[in-house]
A and B are shown apart, each in its own frame.
Chain A
Amino acid sequence: DADVTQTPRNRITKTGKRIMLECSQTKGHDRMYWYRQDPGLGLQLIYYSFDVKDINKGEISDGYSVSRQAQAKFSLSLESAIPNQTALYFCATSDLVDQPQHFGDGTRLSIL
């Protein structure tokens, strides 16, 4: 079983819809992250969290919100999806500072 699980793996939806992407982890890590990947741009950080009471904006948080329901669960929401949010989204976790991040397999989101 994957240590970091993202659902759904693929989603096609329409402009204006509310979308939730979910991430769960079995690694017991405190830190969780949401990234967006666009071709030619690498990964950009959307939000990150240390625990259920700690939520921080990343580089590109506009148009997104998150919820840390438990240590193991971190959800990303698009309240009103727009086409330029079409991208590949990754969840990641990490333990102590200077330790590597562990990534899920990604959610491919297409907004028509």
Chain B
Amino acid sequence: GNSVTQMEGPVTLSEEAFLTINCTYTATGYPSLFWYVQYPGEGLQLLLKATKADDKGSNKGFEATYRKETTSFHLEKGSVQVSDSAVYFCALSPSFSGGYNKLIFGAGTRLAVHP
């Protein structure tokens, strides 16, 4: 079946530190991969996506590369800010969703950035 595994949190960093949040997936075919971010008290927002192998999604200084050989989609940012503190969800949309982009989510990783 389809599943997403991401590193457990919380991840605690100082401002300007480098961030990596690991995400690996299990899926048949060629899923689309997403990172969503949830700020306190809000719904999820799409951060970035990649739809095929070797694609790199990027937004707001965050990047993730779709690695089919390692079934991974790790999230990185070179220099985090306090405002990046949030919960980050890795998700996949299976190749064959019957016309829907059903999402399978990881458990989420909480990031706390301190000044």
Question: A residues near B, CB below 8 A?
Answer: 4, 31, 33, 40-45, 48, 50, 56, 58, 90, 92, 94, 97-106
Contacts and interface: CB of A to CB of B under 8 A. Distances in A.
B107 A105 contact: no
A105 B40 CA distance: 10
B interface, by DSSP: helix, strand, loop or mixed? Answer: loop
A44 B51 CA distance: 22
A36 B42 CA distance: 14
A103 B45 contact: yes
Interface residues of B, number: 23
A90 to B, nearest CB: 6
Nearest to B105: A42
Dominant SS among interface residues on chain A: strand
A98 B45 contact: no
Nearest to B51: A98
B43 A98 contact: no
Interface stretch (B12-20, B61-69, B71-79, B93-101): B93-101
A58 B105 CA distance: 13
A97 B43 contact: no
